Amino acid sequence: VVSRMTGVRIGALFAFKRLVNRVTATRDIGVFFLWLVVCCGYAYQCMETSACWIPSAVRESVEFCQRKEAWTFIMNGDEWQPSSRARVWDSFWLMIVGSTTVGYGDNIPLTYSGRAVLGIMSIAGASVVSLLTASIAAGFRWSLEEQRVLHVIEQEVAR
């Protein structure tokens, strides 16, 4: 009804604009970004870590952890034992650095699945960071009342 009365199409884009222009948009987008960092960081850590590297009481009793494949990565026929295992805080840091397109290179994915997670986070994170920037910038716009006050001040100065 409102759409027909105003001539404005109320669809997904309208709803998205409403979410981004709310008073709480900056907080909501920031929380979503942190949630994205935690989820992708944890997924990255799982992709880059062998279960046998996780300290546990049953590690020695699990037959698979006694085999070479549990401790060695193989990619394109090359075998290596990663010198630095993915730690959860390093994973979160990599997600933040990757999503803001800084990419220091201090931590890099070693597996294809780790690269995929970082690639997804880079694209999604850059989008969310740009939304966060837009919502912050929208907070600096003059409201209608502020524009009226500014106009009155400019008229007084012009006298």
pLDDT in tens, 46-86: 887 766 666 654 555 566 677 777 777 777 788 776 655 56
> What residue has token string 């106009």?
151
Residue 141 resides in a domain: yes
CA angle at 94 for the pair 90 and 83, rounded to the nearest 5°: 50
pLDDT at 52: 66
Instruction: Find which of 98-102, 105-109, 154-158 is predicted with most confidence, using mean pLDDT.
Output: 154-158
Q: Which residue has the higher pLDDT, 66 or 41?
A: 41
DSSP 8-state class, residue 67: S
Domain limits at 98? 26-49+86-158
Instruction: Say whether 79 sits in a helix, a strand or coil.
Output: strand
Residue 18 resides in a domain: no
How do the residues of the chain divide into helix, strand and coil, expressed in percent and rounded to 5? Answer: 65, 5, 30
Residue 31 resides in a domain: yes
Q: Which residue has the higher pLDDT, 110 or 147?
A: 147
Residue 136 resides in a domain: yes
Q: What is the pTM of this model?
A: 0.69
Residue 60 resides in a domain: no
Residue 43 resides in a domain: yes
Domain count, the chain: 1
Residue 58 resides in a domain: no
Cβ–Cβ under 8 Å, residues 73 and 26: no
Residue 10 resides in a domain: no
CB-based contacts of 128, cutoff 8 Å, min separation 6: 29, 32, 33, 36, 99
DSSP 8-state class, residue 49: S
Q: Tell me the CATH number at 121.
A: 1.10.287.70
